[in-house]
Structure 1
Amino acid sequence: MNQQVANKVNSLAVSAYKALGTFLLVLILMSFIMYLGMQGFFLVSEGWVVPTVISPTDPEILQLNSQIAQQAAARDKLLAERRDVQSRLANAERTVTAEQEFQERFQTALSSERASRAQALQRLSALRRESHHVRDEIAESSKAFAGLARVRNNTLHEARLLDKEAYLTSNYQLAQMAQSNLTLAEHTVDLENRLDGLKRELLGLDSVRGRSPSQRNQMTTAALLLEREYTRSVLEQARAENTRSVLREDLQALDEAITRYSKLLKTIRDSPYLRAFEGNLTVAFVPYDNLDDAFPGTPLYACMAKLVWCHQVGVVGQVQEGEVSVKHPIRQHFVRGVMVELQLQDGLSVREELLHLGQPPLML
C-alpha cells in the first residue's frame, strides 16, 4: 500500500516537472521569438518616435544653461574690453588730431613770425642807411663848425673882444655838439645790435623750418626751444598713431571674437531641448530615417508591449530646428535626428517609451 502511494507521488512529481519544463521552454521560445520579431520590426520600421519629457533638472537643460552662462560671461568680458579699447582709441584719435592741428598752427605762426621779423629787419635796414647818411652829414658839419667856432672864439678871446662868460658858453655849446655826436653814435650802435638780433632771429626761425643744413647751424636758444616743442609734438603724434593702429587691430579682433561668441550663444539657445523647455512644448525625437513620415498632422499611436493593442493619442506638430542624438529604444545605440512638437490628447502619453506614426504597427 505504501509503495503504491509512493509510486503515484513520484509519477505526479515527474509529470509536474515535465509540465513546468515544457512551460518554461515555451516561454523562453516565445520570448526569443518576440525579441527577434521586435528586433526585426525596428530594423525595417520607419514609423516611430520617442517622446521626451523635458524638466528643469534634465541633464541636457542643465548643461545648456551652464554653457549659456559661461559663454555669456566670456562675451560680456570681451564687450567690457571692447569698450575700454574703444575709449583708448578715441583718446588716441583726439591726440593725433590735436597734434596735427598744433603742428599746422605752429607752421602758420612760424611763417607769420618770420614775415614780421623780415619786415622789421627791412625797416631797420632802411633806417640804418638813412641814419648813416645823416650821421655822416652831422659829423662833417659839426666838425667844420666846431673847428671854425673854436678858432673864432680863441681869436676873439685873445683880442679881448669876447668876455670870459661868452667864451665859456661857446665852448660849452661845442661840448654839447660833441655829446650829440656821441649819442648819435650810440644810437647807431644800438640800431646795429637790433639789426643783428633780427638777423639771428630770422636765421633761427629758418633753422626751425629746416630749410638747409647751413641754416640749422645758426640755431638760437629761443629757436631751439621752439624746435623742441615741435619735435615733442611730432613724437607724440607718431606715438598716438602707433597706439591707434594697434587699438584698431585689437578692436577688430575683439569684434570677431564677440561675433563668434554671439553665434555660439545663438546656436546654444536654438537647441531643440532648450527651445522646447522655454516654450513649454511636448516634443519627441524622430530619427532622420523616420522624418519623411513625421509631417505635421500625422496621427500618433501608443501600443501595449510597444506593438499591440494600440490607440491614437495625438498628432505630430511642427519640426524643430537643430540636430539631436538619442539612444535607440531597442538596439541601445545612438541615432541622429530632430525634435518634433507633439499635440497629445493627455499628458500621460508623453511617458510612453515610443509612439508610432500614421497607423498602428500591426494594425491591431
Structure 2
Amino acid sequence: MTLFQKTVVSLYRMLASIILVGVLAAALGYFATIIIYTINREWVAPIILTKSSARVMATGAEAFRARQAVSALEVSRDSLRLEISLQERQQAELRNLLGRFKQAQQVEQRASTDLAGRLGSLQGAHRSHNRQADQLNAASRAMQITIEKDLKAGLITKETAIRSMAQIISMDGAATDSRLNTVKLDEQVRELQDGIRTIEGGAQSTRALESVSRLSALEKELAETEILLLKNRADLQNKTVEFEKLQAIVKTVEATPYFRIAQGETESAPFAFVPYENERAAEVGEEVYSCWAKVIFCSRVGTVTWVGSDEERGFHPVFQRDIRGFLVQLELDEPNAAKDQVLYLGSAPIWL
C-alpha cells in the first residue's frame, strides 16, 4: 500500500470517527434534552401578546360592555334605593295618619254615643213639656172664646181683653217653639245614631260615609304603597345579585393577561406559558433565564411580574404534544429573549 493510499485511508477513518462522534453527540444531546425536560420543573414557553390580537381585542370589548352594564345597574340600584327610602317614609306617614284618623273616629263615635244618650234623655222631658203645652193651649183657646164673649157683653174692657189675648198668643208661640225644639232634638239624635251605625258598617249618614270613604282611601293608598315597596325591594335584591355577578365577571375578565395588554400603555408585552407541572416556579419576582441551544450557556434576562390563574392550552417544545397550564407576565431586560423557544424560572436547567 502506497503512502497516498495510507493517507486516504487515515482520512476516511478520521472522517468516520468525526461523523460517529457527531452522531453520538447529537444522540447524547437529544437524550440529554429529553432527560432535562423530563426532570426540570422550571422551564416555560415565552409568547408575545399584542393589542391587535383578536383575543386581546375581544377581551377589551367584553370588559367595556361589562363595565357599562355594572355602571347602569349601579345607577338603577341607587335610584331604587332612593325610591324605597321615599316609599318607606310615605308608608310611615300613612300609617301614622291612618292610626290618628281611626283614633279620632273612635273618639267621635264614643262622643256621639254619649251625646245621643244624653239627648235621648232630654227627648222625654221635651215631649212631656209639649204635652203640658198642648193642654195649656187647649185651655187658652177656651179662654180666648170666653174673653171674646166677655168683651162683647161689656164685662171686661178692651185693654184687659188685649192683654189677655197677648198672653194667650205668647203661650201659643212658646208651645210652638217647644215643639220645634223637640223636632230639632229628634233630628240631632237621629243624625248621631245614623252616624254611629254608619261607622259600624251601615249606610244611614252621608257625613259619616264621607269619613268612612276617607278612611278607605287612606287604607288603599297605604296598601298600594306597601305593594310597590315590596316590589321595589325585590327588584333591588335582584339587581344587587346581578350587580355582584357582573362585578365578579369584570374582575375575572380584568384578571386575564389579555385585559392587561388591552389596558396597558405598550402595544405588546412578553408573557410565558407555564405548564401545571412547573407551577411551583411561577412566582412574582422570580428571575428569568435564557439559554443557548435551550439548555447551555444560560444568562439572566428578566423577572416575573404577574402570575395568572386562568387555564390556557400550550404545546410542549420537545415532546410535541398539547399541555395545560397558565400564563405569567415577564419583564425582560433583553426583549429578544421573548422569541426563544423556552426560558427558565429561578435558575438555569439542572447544572448547566
Bin the TM-score by the shorter chain.
0.7 to 0.9
Aligned to 2:6: none
Within the candidate set 334, 338, 351, 1:346 is matched to 334
TM score, norm. by length of structure 1: 0.72
Aligned to 2:61: 66
TM score, norm. by length of structure 2: 0.74
* In structure 2, distance between residues paired with 1:303 and 1:156: 157
What does 1:166-177 correspond to in 2, within 5 Å? Answer: 166=159, 169-170=162-163, 173-174=164-165, 176-177=166-167
Q: CA deviation at 1:363?
A: 5.5
Per-residue CA distance 1:180-207 (angstroms, 9 max, x = gap): 3443343334333333333333333333
Report whether the alignment pairs 1:207 with 2:197: yes
C-alpha contact (below 8 Å) 2:40/2:350 kept by paired residues: no
| AA in 2 matched with 1:335 | R
* In structure 2, distance between residues paired with 1:297 and 1:97: 60
C-alpha contact (below 8 Å) 1:103/1:233 kept by paired residues: yes
* In structure 2, distance between residues paired with 1:250 and 1:107: 33
Q: CA deviation at 1:103?
A: 2.1
| AA in 2 matched with 1:322 | S
Aligned to 2:254: 269
Change (3 A) 1:68 1:207: farther
Per-residue CA distance 1:302-360 (angstroms, 9 max, x = gap): 2333234x231335445524234142252252421341544x33333233232124554
Q: CA deviation at 1:265?
A: 0.9
Aligned to 1:302: 290
C-alpha contact (below 8 Å) 2:46/2:339 kept by paired residues: yes
* In structure 2, distance between residues paired with 1:295 and 1:341: 11
What does 1:1-364 correspond to in 2, within 5 Å? Answer: 41-118=36-113, 120-121=115-116, 124-125=119-120, 127-136=122-131, 140=135, 144=139, 147=142, 151=146, 154-155=149-150, 157-158=152-153, 160-163=154-157, 165-166=158-159, 169-170=162-163, 173-174=164-165, 176-210=166-200, 216-217=201-202, 219-275=204-260, 278=264, 283-294=271-282, 299-308=287-296, 310-317=297-304, 320-330=307-317, 331-339=320-328, 341-342=330-331, 344-361=332-349
| AA in 2 matched with 1:105 | R
Q: CA deviation at 1:58?
A: 3.4
Change (3 A) 1:151 1:178: closer
C-alpha contact (below 8 Å) 1:124/1:195 kept by paired residues: yes
| AA in 2 matched with 1:303 | C
Change (3 A) 1:40 1:200: farther
SS of the aligned residue for 1:103 comes to helix
- What 5-or-longer segments of structure 1 have no aligned partner? 1-25, 211-215
SS of the aligned residue for 1:323 comes to coil
Q: CA deviation at 1:262?
A: 0.9
* In structure 1, distance between residues paired with 2:312 and 2:291: 24
* In structure 2, distance between residues paired with 1:236 and 1:195: 39
| AA in 2 matched with 1:70 | R
SS of the aligned residue for 2:52 comes to coil
* In structure 1, distance between residues paired with 2:110 and 2:85: 37
Change (3 A) 1:311 1:292: same
